[in-house]
């Protein structure tokens, strides 16, 4: 389902063919950091794109400030972008950067603790003046301390580069004003890092020419700044030798670098084609889901209709109405929007129509951490509706898997005539990795027929249409498009009789309908493939994950296996219903660890459902797991299993 083959050793390798000594690296983690207006996301994205075209495997972690525009020069306004490039298959953006590019004192203050011991710091020394140092928290007034001079960075390799002044210098002959020239300093940094780590220059220069073709001054300033940074690395002795990360040996085929939100949007487009249905998206912009709306709005030629609604409630109402009319209705949002959509989600449960509800999770509650990742909406997806209203839940586990997860969620919604939650999160949404484009012929046919004929004969012999006459295998009701001759029917939120769909308040009927709707969702379990177990068959410890924890779990488990420890992992895509073989799997292990970016929501479900002593490993810091955090839990579990 993605380019990663579950069970293969990833993340770390033994480098035995590095003939150039320390000039060859098997991987490199770079973190770019600066003010929100310093262009760090663009810089990181360009470094990533060039590395992808060079043939490296990669994984990224954009890290945005929560404030729309915090005061310049403050720690709260720091924007960062981390990328891990490698010559082998990897799954994570790296635990610690090897290189930190700090464009100002605030970036150094905010990000230094992430850098590996002895790592390289590249600083824009022009910004390390008293006012900026004070704003970043390096003292006040006469007590301001410059970390570049006080010895606190002696354990690191520090490259002091006057990026701002050099950028202004190379832009002066172009007639660019100094203030405008300063905006190009991120390209100077990109040029320097490109030289240090042997990135080709032509792709970046071509991109600059295309991106800024309408403003020649900006185009030339960015070109000259990039080349100046590259030449600075080549001519300055302090920069030292160059390092190379060679292309990765990945499976053959056509690749593209894709973010989770883009892959999810493309999965929705593909799902519409595979279902042979038009797609209608009702959405209200919200971080970090808005990019899906933006991407889908570009693809009307694939039968995609997008509506930016006035609010979250209207958005899901439009999507459900589109499903009633024979489209595949979809709505996208994040946690606060899911709360607002709950009443209409319950209506979709009652009406029994296909509907895809995409939740790109972020830190909460309330506005919470709009730009930071979290996976704390699982309880909301499982239980966040009034009454007995079970809903299938599917979770993506990597940026590229978002494509396949979208198709799977749409398949379930159509086949079983039910709303389905598709969970992603900010880490997957904004992160990127190379994607081996799938063979379209390998994608499943998820189309379902519309009802076109009468389906019931009354006691008096009259043929009629029953809108809730269920398929005996799936318990799904027929789906008739309004206007189909003879198939006029009524739907709504009032309790109805099975078969006829007529309003029926009787106690026995209500219990029957509650149990029928639940049985329909429970029956999806028979449609879930066997759970993959990666690692050692005779392991004592199982690491059970869901969502974006997959990358860190994979890296941690493989490292522990390399160290000679027996450990296994399993990752859940279907969270309701759970896979039918999960109970048997859990019973085989003495210790079960469940890493979650919440306070243990899946762990509580697992413990209650299967009565196993599953232990939660939780993190709610607005950051993804580091693989070493999971490794530590594995080691502790292994010690407990053998004691």
The tens digit of pLDDT for each residue in 461-486 reads: 999 999 999 999 999 999 999 999 99
The tens digit of pLDDT for each residue in 354-397 reads: 999 999 999 999 999 999 999 999 999 999 999 999 999 999 99
Alpha helices in 490-569 (DSSP H): 507-522, 550-562
pLDDT the model gives residue 4? 53
| CA separation for the pair 574, 565 (Å, rounded) | 29
Beta-bridged to residue 457, according to DSSP, are: 463
The residue-averaged pLDDT of 32-46 equals: 95
The tens digit of pLDDT for each residue in 487-546 reads: 999 899 999 999 999 999 999 999 999 999 999 999 999 999 999 999 998 999 999 999
Identify the residue whose tokens are 């891990």. 84
pLDDT the model gives residue 8? 43
pLDDT the model gives residue 640? 83
Q: Is the pLDDT of residue 15 over 60?
A: no
Residue scoring higher pLDDT (37 or 107) = 107
Exposure letters 539-558 (e unless 16+ CB within 10 A, then b) = bbbbbbbbbbbbbbbbbbbb
- Confidence band, pLDDT 50/70/90 cuts, at residue 3: low
HEC profile for 328-396? EEEEEECHHHHHHHHHHHHHHHHHCCCEEEEEEECECCCCCECCCCCCCCHHHHHHCCCCCCCCCEEEC
| CA separation for the pair 106, 122 (Å, rounded) | 14
Sorted by where each starts, the structural domains of the chain and their CATH numbers stand as: 21-245 (3.40.920.10), 256-442 (3.40.50.970), 534-642 (3.40.50.920)
pLDDT the model gives residue 68? 74
C-beta separation of 591 from 617 below 8 A:
no
- Confidence band, pLDDT 50/70/90 cuts, at residue 643: low
Q: Omega before 365 cis (within 30°)?
A: yes
């Amino acid at each position: 389902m993605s380019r990663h083959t579950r069970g293969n050793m990833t993340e770390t390798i033994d480098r035995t063919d590095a003939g150039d000594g320390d000039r060859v690296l098997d991987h490199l983690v770079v973190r770019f950091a600066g003010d929100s207006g310093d262009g760090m996301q663009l810089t990181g994205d360009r470094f990533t794109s060039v590395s992808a075209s060079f043939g490296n495997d990669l994984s990224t972690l954009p890290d945005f400030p929560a404030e729309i525009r915090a005061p310049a020069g403050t720690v709260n306004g720091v924007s960062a972008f981390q990328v891990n490039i490698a010559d082998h298959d990897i799954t994570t953006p790296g635990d610690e950067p090897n290189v930190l590019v700090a464009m100002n004192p605030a970036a150094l203050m905010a990000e230094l603790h992430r850098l590996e011991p002895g790592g390289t710091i590249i600083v824009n020394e022009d910004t390390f003046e008293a006012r900026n140092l004070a704003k970043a928290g390096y003292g006040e007034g006469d007590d301001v301390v410059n970390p570049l001079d006080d010895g606190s960075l002696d354990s690191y390799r520090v490259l002091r580069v006057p990026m701002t002044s050099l950028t202004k210098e190379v832009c002066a002959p172009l007639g660019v004003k100094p203030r405008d020239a300063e905006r190009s300093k991120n390209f100077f940094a990109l040029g320097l890092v490109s030289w240090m780590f042997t990135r080709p220059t032509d792709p970046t220069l071509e991109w600059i020419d295309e991106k800024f073709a309408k403003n020649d001054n900006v185009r030339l300033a960015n070109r000259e700044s990039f080349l100046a940074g590259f030449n600075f690395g080549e001519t300055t002795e302090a920069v030292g030798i160059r390092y190379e990360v060679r292309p990765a040996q990945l499976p053959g085929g056509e690749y593209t670098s894709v973010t989770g939100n883009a892959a999810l949007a493309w999965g929705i487009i593909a799902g519409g084609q595979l279902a042979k249905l038009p797609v209608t998206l009702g959405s209200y912009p919200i971080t970090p889901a808005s990019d899906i709306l933006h991407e889908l709005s570009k693809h009307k030629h694939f039968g995609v209709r997008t509506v930016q609604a006035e609010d979250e409630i209207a958005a899901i109402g439009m999507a459900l109405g589109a499903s009633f009319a024979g489209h595949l209705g979809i709505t996208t949002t994040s946690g606060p929007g899911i709360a607002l959509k709950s009443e209409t989600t319950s209506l979709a449960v009652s009406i029994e129509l296909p509907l895809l509800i995409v939740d790109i999770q972020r830190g909460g509650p309330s506005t919470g951490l709009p730009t930071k990742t979290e996976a704390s909406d699982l309880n909301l997806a499982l239980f966040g509706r009034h009454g007995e209203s079970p809903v299938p839940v599917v979770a993506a586990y990597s940026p590229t898997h978002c494509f396949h997860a979208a198709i799977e969620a749409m398949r379930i919604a159509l086949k079983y005539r039910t709303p389905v939650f598709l969970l992603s999160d900010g880490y997957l949404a904004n992160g990127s990795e190379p994607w081996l484009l799938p063979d379209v012929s390998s994608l499943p046919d998820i189309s379902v027929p519309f009802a076109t004929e009468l389906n019931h004969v009354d006691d008096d012999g009259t043929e009629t249409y029953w809108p809730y006459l269920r398929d005996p295998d799936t318990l799904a009701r027929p789906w008739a498009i309004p206007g189909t001759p003879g198939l006029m029917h009524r739907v709504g939120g009032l309790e109805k009789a099975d078969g006829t769909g007529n309003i029926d308040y009787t106690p026995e009927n209500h219990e029957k309908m509650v149990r029928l709707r639940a049985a329909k969702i429970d029956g999806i379990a028979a449609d879930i493939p066997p759970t993959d177990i990666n690692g050692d068959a005779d392991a004592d410890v199982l690491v059970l994950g869901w969502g974006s924890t997959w990358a860190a779990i994979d890296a941690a488990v493989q490292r522990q296996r390399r160290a000679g420890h027996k450990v296994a992992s399993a990752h859940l895509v279907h969270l309701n219903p759970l896979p039918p073989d999960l109970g048997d799997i859990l019973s085989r292990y003495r210790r079960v660890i469940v890493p979650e970016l919440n306070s243990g929501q899946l762990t509580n479900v697992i413990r209650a459902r299967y009565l196993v002593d599953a232990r939660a490993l939780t993190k709610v810091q607005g950051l993804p797991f580091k693989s070493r955090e999971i490794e530590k839990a594995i080691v502790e579990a292994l010690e407990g299993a053998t004691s």
